[in-house]
Copies of this chain bind each other. A is one copy, B any other.
Amino acid sequence: VNSFSQKYNPEWNSNIELLAKNLAEGNKTALSKAITLVESNKKEDFEKVQLLLKTISELPKKNAYRIGITGTPGVGKSTFIETYGHFLTQNNHQVAVLAIDPTSSKSGGSIMGDKTRMNELSRNENVFIRPTPSGSDLGGVAARTMEVIQLCEAAGFDRIIVETVGVGQSEYRVAEMTDLFILLTLPNSGDELQGIKRGIMEMADLIIINKADGDNISKAKIAQKQIENAIQLMPEKENGCIVKTLLCSALENSGIQEAYLAIEELLENLNQSGYLSSNRNLQLTQSFKRLIEEKTLDYIRQNENYQSLLSLLNNNLINGGTSPYRELQKYLYKIENLKTFDF
């Protein structure tokens, strides 16, 4: 078992190798400092982060698993993670909890409301909780979270929980950076289950029906059957996981052990089949390719000449007497003659 410390060292500002060394020794304050560096937009911090990532990549690695958790607001993600997190530490794990919250940058506030969450868990010595990073775009925030995962693992955390609100595109990003993806839902009947997007259910390796307590138990069992029926209709998982649906009450502390055991079994299977490590390499190159193409398009979309060209062609379309195919050809002819994509 790791033992974590908290002592601050002012030398970290000028000595990145020392910061990396202390972080790797399990200093949580060094970890926080490193994450702040990662989240910085200052130019001078960029080289520091590069050195930091290089230094920690040369350290010996501990086996760590990355667990994604999603669910719509109100499903009880915080309460579940609080209970599950304590359970993990009782089983000799070191737990880091990160969040990707697509709502925080838009609304100024956050659906997740970090400050008041997981009070007890945050006082657990073997737990590290990092509030949602701020940022203007999901792609950038997600890419930085991948760095934060690297840092947490270097600091000795072996169960990295990345949670997100299942309301946008963020679930896909979280699935792209985790080994296992868990969907939390409520004991709702079919009508209310409509809120879960099909794509998210398809991504899930495990579905947990939370708040299955008191009067809700029979409702939860009906929901379980419905979800199991829906799973039957889905294609087999590429990673070989057989998707289970479990009942759980974070409030009554029931079903947590079953969830823990199911998660550990799935992770172990993924590890032993070799899927986990090959998948991490794939995640790395695929998410990078998508990131690059996304940002390239963003860059082009902001180009004023591109914008006016596009609105010209769009006007042609709306006025009629042409077609997307013909307008596309005009556009292609124009850019091929420019030959200016000179990387």
Contact = CB atoms under 8 A, between A and B. Distances in A.
Interface string A324-336: 1111110110111
Interface in A299-343: 299-300, 303, 305-306, 309-310, 313-314, 317-318, 320-329, 331-332, 334-336, 338, 340-343
Interface residues of A, number: 76
A143 B53 contact: no
Interface stretch (A81-89, A186-194, A208-216, A258-266): A186-194
A318 B281 contact: yes
A288 interface: yes
B317 A288 contact: yes
Contacts of A201: 198, 233
Interface in A221-246: 226-227, 229-230, 232-236
Contact of A295 (B199, B285, B288, B331): B331
A57 B202 CA distance: 43
A113 interface: no
Chain B CB within 10 Å, residue with most, of A58, A281, A291, A300: A300
Contacts of A146: 323-325
A299 B342 CA distance: 12
Interface in A154-172: none
A149 to B, nearest CB: 10
Contacts of A54: 321-322
Nearest to A319: B57
Contacts of A73: none
B198 A323 contact: no
Given A297-B293, A323-B143, A335-B296, A196 B233 contact: yes
A310 B343 CA distance: 10
A306 B293 CA distance: 11
